A = this chain, B = another copy of it.
């Protein structure tokens, strides 16, 4: 059949041919932003489906560059892999076509995208707990601690995802730390950014985190776990879009989620700060306790019986996560992909102040991450000094 980008009519025909809908009347529309994927919502009677198809390019801020369609297959495979171990948090996949780079999945329009929802004042009381559980399960069960090493190497080999890893490496670890064309630095933030570019210690620690990102294959990561990749309601949480999935370090997804909880406080910092810090508490406690419980019950030998090993592993995850969170805070404040949490602050003095805060917090997390060995250290992590300098 070969690949071609679908029209609305193509999308309808595909789901009909697949028997996912019958001959009843159908409505369908393309609801994607067209930057990376086409997203069709298809409704036939009571049935609602999403058909997502990868485009052979990426468009960001007017620029366009070619991007492998293989990422659709990565996403499909990762959704299935994650559903095996964390089914409540993963959208159901009805059909996946590698050749035509499309996936038919559950429509989640009864939920809202968390970033937008939080900006509108919506509450997700179970979000932190759910993502803690989701990550503990997906990370533990795809790691060498749960899977025999031969089987794990087989899985890891499938998620060789060089295109998207390369994007991450460039946009998170490289470009924000020098005067790259991709950066988007708001006027008034130059002095703050200069501090970053001239901070040799910071840049060395970022390079270490980058090396960790590209060399450590702990577990199958989502790879892009921000609040725009999560649909939720008061009761339900679904993690979508794992097209950046690859075998990477445990701390990466954990850190990205933490960073975006920090971002979610910025629209109304004085009011939201404590709420978001409580979310981070809940998230980490759920993650760590679930990971530990899974380990104690199901880790393979000799890891399970190695006294105290799981606590050391969790310490390392926490430290690495804080470093990755720091990188994410910086790149989402001055890099290519900015966040609405900051950009939608209308008062420019406040907005610049919050951006400055995000950059300082990011740098502190990167440079001082090894101070945090336990949850208590995390709670006591204080950046007053960095902020006042």
Residues of A within 8 A of B (CB): 144-145, 149-150, 152-154, 157, 160, 162-163, 165-166, 169, 173-174, 177-178, 200-201, 203-204, 206-208, 210-211, 214-218, 301-303, 305-309, 312-313
Contact = CB atoms under 8 A, between A and B. Distances in A.
A47 to B, nearest CB: 40
Contacts of A178: 302
- Which of A177, A206, A215 has most B Cβ within 10 Å? A215
A272 B154 CA distance: 45
Contact of A218 (B200, B215, B303, B307): B215
Contacts of A165: 149-150, 153
A208 B312 contact: yes
Contact of A211 (B144, B157, B215): B144
- Which of A152, A160, A173, A204 has most B Cβ within 10 Å? A204
A128 B152 CA distance: 36
Which 3 A-B pairs rank lowest in CB-CB distance, beginning with the nearest?
A: A207-B306, A200-B307, A150-B162
A67 to B, nearest CB: 13
B215 A312 contact: no
Interface of A is mostly: helix
A177 B309 CA distance: 15
B204 A173 contact: no
Nearest to A307: B200
A216 B144 CA distance: 12
Contacts of A160: 153, 157
Given A149-B169, A160-B153, A169-B149, A302 B207 contact: yes
Nearest to A308: B204
A211 B316 CA distance: 13
A308 B169 CA distance: 20
B154 A162 contact: yes
Contacts of A218: 215
A347 to B, nearest CB: 35
A306 B204 contact: yes
B216 A216 contact: yes
B215 A144 contact: yes
A299 B327 CA distance: 22
Given A150-B162, A162-B153, A165-B153, A214 B144 contact: yes
Nearest to A305: B203
